[in-house]
Structure 1
Amino acid sequence: MTVKGLISAFTQQEDLNFLLTNRIPRAALTRFMGWFSKVENPLVRDASIACWKLFSDLDLSEAKKTEFRSLHDCFTRELKPGLRPAAADPAIIASPSDAIIGAHGRIEDGQLFQVKGAPYSLLDLVGDPALVERHRNGRFVTLRLTSSMYHRFHAPYDLTIDKVTFIHGDVWNVNPIALKRIERLFCKNERAVLCAKLSTGEAFTMVPVAAILVASIRLHFLDVTLNAQSRGPVDFPCDAQVKKGDELGWFEHGSTIIVLAPDHFEFCDNVAEGTRIKCGEPLLRKP
């Protein structure tokens, strides 16, 4: 096959992926998946997990449990103790989740990138001008969780979380194919903005972004499920003090976490677009 033919075949494959995962009733399918995944029937559970393994690199060898009540129970599985230790160096901000590293860099006067050449506004993402000012010209990194990854996320440092804002939105797929085709995708999807301060007093923000088939986001320190029923934007004031490595919550499928850090932080040497990172591994370094 010629180079031109290979490019054409690759483009057609991407187009088909985008069609199958986006040009469908996204919200309805997501609500259905939220219900279906909780069905506690052994036949449904086993068939669903077998199908999931067939189309992904799902590895359950690290799971704390060997038997699951439902597909949902498998999605939100805990890991065996000690498998994701947080980097001990007090200068290190750890990754809050297992992920594939996406776009990252400097927030250029309030502007970020979802992929090269596709900018979006920090204000559109978080909806709070004061928060934008705290992160103007800071650092951002995009962490994409695939469907087969560990779906829980943890505190990357000693933090005080003082507010969570839930912003209602769509549920586009967040894979690279969709990111190249949908402008400002992260600003369109449902998301939670976790406003925090590091133990050193500096502003630090995490934005878990939901996606297709993600029925909800759960946070341990809020007695509420953040999903389409939580019409937003709505603020949840809180005073959650967490230690580095503490579990914060989980997605009910794969999705994305956007991390916003101060401008004097630097990315660790292992941070490169397209590489995999595990929860607790070095992400950013304080000078």
Structure 2
Amino acid sequence: MTVKSLIASFTQQEDLNFLLTNRVPRAALTRFMGWFSKIENPLVKDTSIALWKLFSDLDLSEARESEFKSLHACFTRELKPGLRPFDPDPSIVTTPSDGIIGAHGTIKDGELYQIKGAPYSLKELVADPGVVETHRNGSFVTIRLTSSMYHRFHAPADMTLEHVSLIHGDVWNVNPIALKRVERLFCKNERAVIRTHLATGEPFTIVPVAAILVASIRLHALDRVLNAQTERPLSHACNKEVKKGDELGWFEHGSTIILLAPGDFAFAPDIAEGARVRAGQPLWRRRVAVD
């Protein structure tokens, strides 16, 4: 058995995993990691990336750059051009990022779930009555990014960004073990609510949720990083048109994106809980094709 498989077996014990990733001073550890990851010392950087590879399935073969000046630069790396083509069909809404489908389905009178049997309310998630009414009986999907994945996220369709708000909160881990143990976890963590409408007129909402360690979200539309240190105002109007595949921003560590769509969107056939997805592949299709 390899060292990596031994580590994986050790950390897959649920009680131990939850203890190591949640029953720690989460906020302090997150602030420390934010500082540490930006150290531009070759020894610190190289050792950190080597340890990261040991503890995960980190693969840098797709990275645009072969060398990084810091751990942070590795976290937020770009990919080689052309590696994530976005489905050009205008009736298709694509996945905005690489990730793993955590949950998906219908929003039932403003209620959705983080895992089966663990519901939470749309009102508590977005804190915006307009968004709640818009998506009260729509559909949703949760995409979880692990620490080793490509962390940038993109426009899933041609759309206009209308408004961004930040909701301060905690930094719980967002892995399946924590989701089983922490009720309404997504409603407790730091998160942004990005209101948009698609080029075809339908409302569409993107909710990036931060997690333990770096817990910062960079949004190009605001030209700023959103995190626990962000001061008011926490609500920003914007009117920015983006094309499908345009980069919207990035997470500075693994986390989650929750997408809220109209009820007349149908999921692509291969979308299933636990499925790995890549940015650009079909996620939803409008039930009525666009002319």
Do Structure 1 and Structure 2 share a fold, with TM-score over 0.5?
yes
* 1:138 paired residue number: 138
Match of residue 40 from structure 1: 40
Tell me the secondary structure at the aligned position of residue 13 of structure 2. Answer: helix
State the Cα distance separating 1:225 from its structure 2 match: 1.4
Aligned with 2:142: secondary structure? Answer: strand
> 1:229, CA displacement in angstroms?
1.0
Counterpart position of 1:125: 125
What is the rounded CA distance, in whole Å, between the counterparts of 2:10 and 2:69 in structure 1? 39
1:269 aligned residue: 269
Count, aligned residues:
279
8 Å CA contact 2:11, 2:17 repeated in 1: no
C-alpha deviation, 1:214, in angstroms: 2.7
Bigger mean CA deviation after superposition, 26-35 or 212-221: 212-221
Distance 1:232 1:103, change over 3 A: farther
2:71 corresponds to 1:64: no
Match of 2:90 in 1: 90
What is the alpha-carbon distance in structure 1 between the residues aligned to residue 10 and residue 229 of structure 2? 38
Displaced runs of 4+ in structure 1, greater than 2 A? 9-12
- The reply to whether residue 229 of structure 1 matches residue 208 of structure 2 is no
The RMSD of aligned alpha carbons is: 1.5
Asked if the contact 1:172/1:189 (under 8 Å) is kept, the reply is yes
1:10 Cα deviation from its structure 2 partner: 9.8
**Aligned residue for 1:185?**
185
Following the alignment from structure 1 to structure 2, what is the Cα–Cα distance between the partners of residues 40 and 256?
27
User: 8 Å contact 1:168–1:233 — kept in the other structure?
Assistant: no
CA–CA distance in structure 2, aligned partners of residues 233 and 15 of structure 1: 39
2:251 and 2:233 mapped to 1: Cα distance? Answer: 19
Match of 2:150 in 1: 150
Which residues of structure 2 form unaligned runs of 5+? 1-8
Q: How big is each residue's C-alpha offset from its partner over 1:74-123, in whole Å with a ceiling of 9 and x where there is no partner?
A: 00000000000111111110000000001110000000100000000000
1:231, CA displacement in angstroms? Answer: 4.6
Deviations, residues 173-226 of structure 1 (Å, cap 9, x unaligned): 000000000000000000000000000111000000000013310011112210
Bigger Cα displacement from structure 2, 189-198 vs 228-237 = 228-237
- 1:7-33 CA distance string (max 9 Å, x none): xx9999101000000000000000000
Q: Distance in 1 between matches of 2:268 and 2:94?
A: 10
Rounded Cα–Cα distance in structure 2 between residues aligned with 1:100 and 1:39: 30
CA contact (8 A) 2:64 2:81 kept: yes
Per the alignment, residue 28 of structure 1 pairs with 28
Amino acid at match of 2:149: M
Q: Which moved more, 1:138-147 or 1:217-226?
A: 217-226
The gaps in structure 1 that reach 5 residues or longer are 1-8
**TM superposition shift of 1:234:** 1.9
| 2-structure distance, mates of 1:194, 1:92 | 20
Give the TM-score taking structure 2 as reference length: 0.94
The aligned counterpart of 2:6 is none
Cα contact 1:141–1:258 (8 A) shared by 2? yes
Quickly say closer, same or farther: Cα 1:75–1:61, change in 2 above 3 A: same
Q: 1:158 and 1:131, CA in 2 relative to 1: closer, same or farther beyond 3 A?
A: same
Give the equivalent residue in structure 2 for 1:4. Answer: none
Output one character per residue of 1:232-279: Cα deviation in whole Å (capped at 9) or x when no partner.
Answer: 682111111100000000000000000000000010011000010000
Q: What is the distance in 1 between the residues matched to 2:249 and 2:63?
A: 16
**Aligned partners of 1:225 and 1:12: how far apart in 2?**
32
The DSSP-based 3-state class of the residue aligned with 1:206 is strand
Distance in 1 between residues matched to 2:195 and 2:126, nearest whole Å: 10
Q: Deviations over 1:104-143 (max 9, x none)?
A: 1000000010000000000000001111000011000000
Cα distance in 2 between the residues matched to 1:33 and 1:210: 14
- Given that 1:139 and 1:261 are in contact with CA atoms closer than 8 Å, whether structure 2 keeps it comes out as yes
TM-score normalised to the size of structure 1? 0.95
Distance 1:110 1:231 in 2: 30
